[in-house]
Structure 1
Amino acid sequence: MGISASSLINPFSVLRGQKRRRSDDSSDSDTESFLEETLNTPKRKKLLTTAKYIYQALYKEEKNSDVTVIALGKPWHLHKIYLCQSPYFKSMFGGSWRESFQDIVHIKIADPRITLDSLSTVFGSLYLDEIVIEPKEVISILATATLFQLEGIIEQCTLVMRDTINTKTAVNYYEAACEYGVTNVKEAAFKWLLVNLMGYFYDHVKWLKEVSVELMTQLISSPDLFVIQTEFTIYILLRYWMYLKLHSENDDEYTDNDFEPKKFFQERQDKTPFLLTKQGKPFAKAFQALRLQHILMHHLDIEMLQKDNIIPNEWINPTVLHQWHSMLRIDQSLDKGPKEISDELFYKHSLRCGRLLPIEGNHMWRWTGFNFGLDLILILEERSFRIKRNHRFENGSLLSLQPKRYILLRVTVACLNEQRQIHHIQTTPIRGFNLSRNEEVSLFKLERELVFPLLVSVNLLVKTPNSELNSNLNLNDSNNESTIQLDSNIIINNNDDKPINSIKSTLENNYKG
């Protein structure tokens, strides 16, 4: 059987003879618009660019070189016109220096951070319109760019360093930034160390012992240091850090960070306080940055200080005296808190304490130690922070009977990224609270950008700073006699018991008043 011609369908006649669907019209319109847009959009495709051609022909193949630069024993056959992008070479070739007339130039490299690789990278960048900087080479490239005064490369190094501050780089970046005057990297690395010194470096021997005495002193002195637990943990860290610096040849990770340092210092045969010995004197500056008034807050801590015999009693005794004097003033309602002090004094004298909150939820805690009769509890509930003056005698603490106590407080909360850089931070201003017994007040609500785990850092001041009382409390030492002057009516001389009656009568008169 055959197929009749009438049964065959001409597809073109069908298209011409039938009505088009509205959806088909829309599709064609969209296609037409897309094609029109494509034809009117410029396409940028890089050819073998002039910069790459110049780099290959003039730098790599050294064609038409008019000067040979010798540095670190290696010759580079370069071109003065490209070298003059550097103010260093522009001054050399453009002035009356003898090098401007020479074909061979010797450059003395005194900086150990400058390497052959960094020289090659920097010289090559003068022939290109971009530079590739690997983080592991960035300090060497920064050093080289600083020598040749290449601000563009210095800026690129700065960006790379700020993006890659982490455990392995923070200390080295800080030291390099100080040496080469890169202020923003110095500040960023220092800020990273303030957050991570206590909570992370303590468990990483290799990085902790890289911290110099000068840097450690600055970190310990900062009011922005993120302290884990209380101020006494700073002393523990310093003891461990000093032990590591004294045993720098040992790279072992210690399973117990307290045992070896404690054994080393407590079993010394020499009874001289360690910081007064030849070995210890280089570390004295860091220990002097400790806020001793906040370390002498628990009897166990004082006992450990005595057993370690690191800090001289000459440093500790005046602080003990000041603490005792402050406690007596508070007991007699002469000091109801630090109401009128400057921000500078607050940051200098405040107790620094902190905590890691690992998971989201409700948290409540206190920091141990004697806080002049205040039992303060911090509460985080439904992402809101509160503080409470707890006044319950069943916990056995010595509590202040004053109906009102004034405190100053600043709270900082931060969360970190994978490199332990600050992802988000929230800091309150310095706030004052006049707390009644068992009173609870709201502090602030966590910003939504803060995600757990969180680091909490608190600056707290519950009494008038000792520096404000120095005019009434002096230490005099003459003729090997220790004299303590509390005020014009009370004088205690360790070699004379007669004034005790005077003290007794004075105290009786004060209580009668």
Structure 2
Amino acid sequence: MGNSFSRHHAAPVVNDRLRATPLSLQTRKRHIDSVYDNPSKSSPDPVRKKRLKSTSEYIYDALFVNGENSDITIRSLGKEWKLHKVYLRQAKYFRSLYDNKWKESTMETIDLQIPDSNIDVKSLDITFGSLYSEIVMIPPSKVIPILAAASLIQLDGLMQQCAEVMKETICMENVFGYLKAASMYGLEDVCRQSISWFETNLMLRQSRELLSEMHPELLTDVVSSPNLVVIQIEMDIYTMLKKWLYLRIHPSYSGDFKSILSTADAYFHQEAESTNTFFLESEHGRPYSDVFKALRLQHIIRDFVSCRELERDRIIPWSWMSQQYRQQWLTMLRVEQSIDSGPTEFNNDTFESNSLRCGRMLLRDADHCWRWNGYSFGLDLLISYSSHAPRTITFRRNVRSQRCSSSVSLSSSRSIVYRVTVASVNDKGQTALRKSTENTPLNLQKEQEQIVLTLGGESAPDQSGTLRPWKSYFPLIVTATFQLVNDLESPELNSSGNSIKPFPCFDEETRTLGGAGVVLEDSSAED
């Protein structure tokens, strides 16, 4: 199967045999139609309707396939094409060649050099043939070679058609190749859609194949993205990165992917005991530091079990974690003493880069109610999905039912900023449905319920506009991003002297506290 595209342009005229005025064509068509539709009763033989070959098909067969009246031969990769200059001029490369009177412009045969290994004879054949036809068939399996050939002769229309095929067919089997090709040939839309595919599927489709092919730079971009679909909480991103890191160090790992986490745990625990250092500070680990810096550590250390695992693995350096421990502790005190009741104003950039990311998969169209684990500064937020039309996502600030009476804030109101997204993904990892709120501030009273997203009735249009029943979109992915407290240096807290300044980190080499210029004396040094 291939994708067909109309080029939407009239074919150039090459010789007198092909010249016909629009009027003569229309007159001829009306005559044929009248004979077909109103055969004479006196005619001895009834006229049988027969589809005539279109002008486009005739031009393609006569001029491209058979090379009739060719005035230029293109030779490349061991094959010759009998072509026509007037058609070749549709490509910028050849138009420039003839307009600027390069030495090749007077040659009857041009040897076309192919510096790109992606280009083969078939892709060149399709590319040259597209100059003679209104319809171009682009098989997804050949789209990258065709794109490369179109790029070589600077045929922008065909390149754009290749981009449309790539965006429509992106999946696990081709996404890495598509991203590489799109970057090489300047298809920004395809690059963005490839990155979007990773943001949607990295957590959903974890596999040895997917993680093994993720380069550190690409993974850093995806993990740091505000559009990353997180299933459960930030700690699950760390767990995924731990699997990825183990595969980078052990590319020949052949065990079951389901057991890779326990294998990775054992490896990093043994490394920590034998080297007495944090892995990302070791020679083997430093190249991967940027990937782990993309994690939002402040939202991992909200849970005791997660803290215990971080410290046991000794992958992330203590200097990174101690800063976050300090900031979270001071933020907790600020909330406990009613200095901070949640963000009164927010910055979109800070919200996108620092806020808490959560997600959940709803397997069937039934009522659901849940909360995401972790300390939330005294705010117990229950999230509900109603399966009754109009389907809704609702927040409720829960105060009454608590396992620990001191775990919830009793302040009359708490402020948050949120964004909620509901999405459905098909079997290729492409988004079939997406509904989302804006970055929205919300003030919640005790036990207050608030509908934050209305999804609709019994059906909803997919990305192509086709109306489908809601049940067909399951499993459904619900993701949320939250800001529960003020920024570390919010203007309001700054003016009152209650902001939290980063603590300078100790530098082992200079024996100073970062930019503070404080030199620490070494008590073990001799006089």
Q: Same fold (TM over 0.5)?
A: yes
- Measured after TM superposition, the shift of residue 335 of structure 1 is 1.0
- Measured after TM superposition, the shift of residue 101 of structure 1 is 2.4
The correspondence for 2:236, drawn from 228, 233, 236, is: 233
> TM-score scaled to structure 1, two decimals?
0.79
Q: CA 1:115 to 1:244, structure 2 compared with 1: closer, same or farther past 3 Å? A: farther
- Measured after TM superposition, the shift of residue 150 of structure 1 is 1.2
- Measured after TM superposition, the shift of residue 495 of structure 1 is 9.9
The correspondence for 2:141, drawn from 116, 136, 143, is: 136
| Contact 1:177 1:185 (C-alpha < 8 Å) held by counterparts | yes
**Equivalence for 2:395:** 387
**Equivalence for 2:485:** 463
- Measured after TM superposition, the shift of residue 111 of structure 1 is 2.7
**Equivalence for 1:422:** 431
**Equivalence for 2:204:** 199
Taking the aligned partners of 1:154 and 1:251, their CA distance within structure 2 comes to 39
| Contact 2:279 2:285 (C-alpha < 8 Å) held by counterparts | yes
Any idea what SS the aligned residue of 1:256 has? Answer: helix
| Contact 2:399 2:446 (C-alpha < 8 Å) held by counterparts | yes
Larger Rg: 1
1:303-347 Cα offsets, whole Å, 9 max, x none, are: 211222222222222122111111111111111111111222222
**Equivalence for 1:216:** 219
- Measured after TM superposition, the shift of residue 94 of structure 1 is 3.0
Taking the aligned partners of 2:353 and 2:381, their CA distance within structure 1 comes to 21
Q: CA 1:65 to 1:248, structure 2 compared with 1: closer, same or farther past 3 Å? A: farther
| Contact 1:482 1:494 (C-alpha < 8 Å) held by counterparts | no
**Equivalence for 2:467:** none
| Contact 2:415 2:443 (C-alpha < 8 Å) held by counterparts | yes
Q: Which runs of 5+ in 2 are unaligned?
A: 1-33, 39-47, 461-469
- Measured after TM superposition, the shift of residue 293 of structure 1 is 0.9
Taking the aligned partners of 2:191 and 2:50, their CA distance within structure 1 comes to 40
Any idea what SS the aligned residue of 1:359 has? Answer: coil
The one-letter code of the counterpart of 1:138 is: V
**Equivalence for 2:421:** 412
Q: CA 1:62 to 1:347, structure 2 compared with 1: closer, same or farther past 3 Å? A: same
Any idea what SS the aligned residue of 2:334 has? Answer: helix
**Equivalence for 1:112:** 117
Residue range with higher mean Cα deviation, 280-289 or 471-480 = 471-480
Q: CA 1:251 to 1:121, structure 2 compared with 1: closer, same or farther past 3 Å? A: farther
Q: Where does 1:361-372 land on structure 2 (aligned, <5 Å)?
A: 361-372=366-377
Taking the aligned partners of 2:333 and 2:111, their CA distance within structure 1 comes to 72
Q: Where does 1:431-510 land on structure 2 (aligned, <5 Å)?
A: 431-448=440-457, 449=460, 450=470, 451-468=473-490, 472-476=500-504, 477=506, 480=511
Q: CA 1:116 to 1:287, structure 2 compared with 1: closer, same or farther past 3 Å? A: farther
Any idea what SS the aligned residue of 1:402 has? Answer: coil
Q: CA 1:455 to 1:45, structure 2 compared with 1: closer, same or farther past 3 Å? A: farther
The one-letter code of the counterpart of 2:448 is: E
Taking the aligned partners of 2:255 and 2:72, their CA distance within structure 1 comes to 51
**Equivalence for 1:126:** 131
| Contact 1:209 1:245 (C-alpha < 8 Å) held by counterparts | yes
Q: Where does 1:316-335 land on structure 2 (aligned, <5 Å)?
A: 316-335=321-340
The one-letter code of the counterpart of 2:439 is: I
- Identical positions, percent: 36
Any idea what SS the aligned residue of 2:339 has? Answer: coil
- The Cα RMSD (Å) is 3.1
1:252-305 Cα offsets, whole Å, 9 max, x none, are: 651324122222322223333322334333322221111111111112111211
Q: CA 1:209 to 1:467, structure 2 compared with 1: closer, same or farther past 3 Å? A: farther
Q: Which runs of 5+ in 1 are unaligned?
A: 1-35, 486-490, 497-513
Any idea what SS the aligned residue of 1:209 has? Answer: helix
| Contact 1:483 1:494 (C-alpha < 8 Å) held by counterparts | no
1:31-83 Cα offsets, whole Å, 9 max, x none, are: xxxxx9x938xx99653444444444444444554444343454444333332
Taking the aligned partners of 1:212 and 1:285, their CA distance within structure 2 comes to 12
Q: CA 1:439 to 1:50, structure 2 compared with 1: closer, same or farther past 3 Å? A: closer
Q: Where does 1:58-69 land on structure 2 (aligned, <5 Å)?
A: 58-62=63-67, 64-69=69-74
The one-letter code of the counterpart of 1:390 is: N
- Measured after TM superposition, the shift of residue 156 of structure 1 is 1.6
Taking the aligned partners of 1:97 and 1:226, their CA distance within structure 2 comes to 53
- Measured after TM superposition, the shift of residue 409 of structure 1 is 1.4
Q: Where does 1:258-269 land on structure 2 (aligned, <5 Å)?
A: 258-268=261-271, 269=274
- Measured after TM superposition, the shift of residue 463 of structure 1 is 0.6
Taking the aligned partners of 2:254 and 2:311, their CA distance within structure 1 comes to 29
Taking the aligned partners of 2:502 and 2:418, their CA distance within structure 1 comes to 29
The one-letter code of the counterpart of 1:331 is: E
